[in-house]
Amino acid sequence: MQIEARTQAAIIDGKAIAARVRAQAAAAARELAASGVIPGLAVVLVGEDPASQIYVRNKGRRTIEAGMRSFEHKLPARTSQDELLALVRQLNGDPAVHGILVQMPLPKHIDADRIVAALDPDKDVDGLHPLNAGRIVLGKPGLVPCTPQGCVILARHVLGEDLSGLDVVVIGRSILVGKPVALLFQNANCTVTMAHSRTRNLPALCRRADILVAAAGRREMVRGDWIKPGATVIDVGINRIAGADGRSRLVGDVAFEEARQVARAITPVPGGVGPRTIACLLLNTVQAARTIAGRRA
Ligand code: NDP
């Protein structure tokens, strides 16, 4: 269990867990390399969004550190949908590329759904293709989106592998986070409630949760008295606010100081769910490389 013991809730150390997952991905990549397959991850960035540029740089660095090949495609914001589709098709056919990640958000003139649908589902390491989304619904193996996968892994670090029968409340029902998180916990035999902006009496609902996942994008919305004593709290939200010193800082969807008086364990923001995302991406790339190698055999 990767948690730091405290008098209040244990703080789940997402960075340490991420480092362990990256080491696991690197070991799997070495094994594949020994059989002649070096996993390759292509990341496509359209435009100059500063946050996306940082993500892409970090992804490239971590990919190389894990002994994999990194291919970066940086395209200008004016890139047309057809040009992007042509690149996706080229990467689909490139035998050195096993994973393709198109960094979101895309410029408004590009239909993100069309781009995602054009990906080879076996190379869709972000787990966004409708086929991979459908596999989660069916409870079949496939490429699982990284942030939702991270939520389940963090819960297992606190509560152990078997989450059967636990009550889970997920705040948020987005395609990217809320829905896949809810389905993954359901596949782990939890009893899951998905809440959203129209949910009635959200605090009372949250108080029933053994595992509370907050993914609403509303700063510090979840208060201490929304939390069942001893619950595990996974805070996915990332909200930038101005600090007292005038500098901006990140906070989650959970009022951290209040929540840690009540919870058993809680993820901090930053340093909780976030670091897991790139680590899961590397694992997904290894999984994709195995699938594609099997397809060619
Ligand atoms: P979306 O805006 O797409 O979805 C937000 C969801 O929260 C919606 O389903 C919405 O309900 C619900 N919601 C909004 N306000 C409330 C409220 N007051 N009460 C109950 N439910 C509410 O966001 P995402 O799912 O993309 O992201 C959620 C958060 O997670 C964001 O802060 C984002 O930055 C963060 N994030 C973090 C990642 C990480 O690696 N840590 C990765 C991805 C996202 P409705 O459907 O009714 O509108």
Whole-number Å distance, alpha carbon 133 to ligand 1 midpoint, is 18
Q: Does the pLDDT value for residue 54 go beyond 70?
A: yes
The DSSP element (H or E) to which 99 belongs, if any, is strand 99-102
Q: What angle do CA 163, 167, 169 make, to 5 degrees?
A: 115
> DSSP 3-state assignment of 79?
coil
Whole-number Å distance, alpha carbon 216 to ligand 1 midpoint, is 3
First to last CA, the chain: 39
Whole-number Å distance, alpha carbon 59 to ligand 1 midpoint, is 23
- Give the residue carrying structure tokens 């670091």: 275
pLDDT band at 5 (very low <50, low <70, confident <90, very high): very low
Q: From the candidates 126, 210, 235, 253, give the one annotated as an active-site residue.
A: 126
pLDDT tens-digit readout, 23-48 = 999 999 999 999 999 999 999 999 99
- Using CB distances shorter than 6 Å, the residues near ligand 1 are 147, 171-174, 176-178, 195-199, 202, 215-218, 221, 236-239, 273-274, 277
> DSSP 3-state assignment of 127?
coil
Ligand 1 atom nearest residue 221's Cα: 18
The DSSP element (H or E) to which 11 belongs, if any, is strand 10-12
State residue 297's pLDDT score.
67
CA 285 to chain centre: 14
Q: Is 103 a catalytic residue?
A: yes
Mutate which of 170, 171, 193, 254 for ligand 1 pocket (most atoms within 8 A of beta carbon): 171
- Taking the C-alpha atoms of residue 229 and residue 261, their distance in angstroms, rounded to an integer, is 9
pLDDT tens-digit readout, 142-159 = 999 999 999 999 999 999
Calculate what percentage of the chain has a pLDDT beyond 90.
89
pLDDT band at 113 (very low <50, low <70, confident <90, very high): very high
Q: Is 140 a catalytic residue?
A: no
Q: Report, in angstroms and rounded to the nearest whole number, the Rg of the chain calculated over CA atoms.
A: 19
Q: Which residues contact 73 (CB under 8 A, 6 or more apart)?
A: 42, 43, 44, 45, 87, 91
Mutate which of 103, 149, 236 for ligand 1 pocket (most atoms within 8 A of beta carbon): 236
Whole-number Å distance, alpha carbon 174 to ligand 1 midpoint, is 6
Mutate which of 58, 238, 241 for ligand 1 pocket (most atoms within 8 A of beta carbon): 238
Ligand 1 atom nearest residue 269's Cα: 41
Q: Does the pLDDT value for residue 277 go beyond 70?
A: yes
Whole-number Å distance, alpha carbon 96 to ligand 1 midpoint, is 35
pLDDT average, residue stretch 213-242: 96
Whole-number Å distance, alpha carbon 172 to ligand 1 midpoint, is 5
Nearest CA to ligand 1 atom 14: 216
Q: Does the pLDDT value for residue 167 go beyond 70?
A: yes
Q: Is 59 a catalytic residue?
A: yes
